[in-house]
Amino acid sequence: INLNSNVKKVVVFMNCRVPASRRYQPTEYEHAANCATHGFWILPSLVGGSVLYFLSGDPWHRVAAWLYGSGLTGLFITSTLFHTAAWKVSHLRSLEQRFHMCDRMAIYFFIAASYSPWLMLRELGPWACHMRWLIWVMACIGSMYVFFFHERYKLVELLAYVAMGAVPALVILSMVERAGVCELAVGGVFYVVGVIFFKSDGLVPFAHAIWHLFVAAGAGIHYYAIWRYLYVSGPPLQTAR
């Protein structure tokens, strides 16, 4: 009897793992956690983006703040909308599918937005400066991939996110000014470790919600680095031309 009771408790917090070709169906508790763990950060991201904007002393800083704030807030909004739809209106498959696609697309633009302040406001080498616009091209290509091949090749999509996050990082390492690189690396570690939980639905209870927390932690560390080293640490650095 006790064994059955323990099994029931596990079932409440986690459903069985499904094949890679199918989407995991969270329990009611997991649905709620998925919504809360990103919904909580919508208002702080709005405030944080606004703080950077009002700290800006020139047009390039304002543009960078707007891009970063929009990407950060957009990520949390689209994620929360999708998980709410998956929880409450999952019977409307076409609506849920659209929200899921928007959620995936927002990740590409969030990655681009996260790098934009560093690429726009720091001095880069002659070839590295092209990454300022190339990263947005990559985000658009990634979004087109989601539009045409959503959920067909999940591993390819995951590798695309990792590659898009890693390639600009190599450019950042070539910067003349290195302040903030340590924080960028630590934030990146949170994202990478979080991927383990992203792929652990059905193995770890609340795995996707834990992934959300790793994303929030990584984003928070990156925000701190942007705020400290690009907006409040003395005179403006070399800006994009």
Binding residues for Zn(2+): 83, 208, 212
Number of Cβ atoms within 10 Å of the Cβ of 74: 19
Q: Return d(Cα 120, Cα 60) in angstroms, integer.
A: 7
CB 57 within 8 A of CB 231: no
Q: Return d(Cα 156, Cα 174) in angstroms, integer.
A: 28
Q: Is 153 helix (H, G, I), strand (E, B) or coil?
A: coil
Amino acid in position 89: V
CB 225 within 8 A of CB 187: yes
CB 147 within 8 A of CB 104: no
Given the structure tokens 């209106």, which residue do they identify?
89
CB 198 within 8 A of CB 211: yes
Given the structure tokens 């003349």, which residue do they identify?
176
